[in-house]
Amino acid sequence: MYILKIKGKAKIPDYIQLRDDSFTLKAYFRVDRPEKSLLKFGYNDEQLEKLMQLINEMPFGRVMKLEL
């Protein structure tokens, strides 16, 4: 699984993309409201906490391998 943080412009907000190993889009959600989408995607509370920390710390425009 891969994670990308995308910087928005003007009225378009910042977004996060989660992609599988073949780089198919699995989830796409706003940086400021990720909890609902991540719970819908099936992450538990511990994984959600780790993901939130990673999302807040990671730079924009970088693809990172996600291992939870």
Per residue in 18-36, pLDDT tens?
A: 999 999 998 888 888 777 7
* Band of pLDDT at residue 5, cut at 50, 70 and 90: very high
Per residue in 39-52, pLDDT tens?
A: 777 777 888 888 88
With 0-12 / 13-18 / 19 or more C-beta atoms within 10 angstroms meaning exposed / middle / buried, residue 37 is middle
> What is the value of pTM for the model shown?
0.79
- Integer Cα distance of 1 and 22 in angstroms: 9
Query: What tokens appear for 7 in the block?
Result: 């910087």
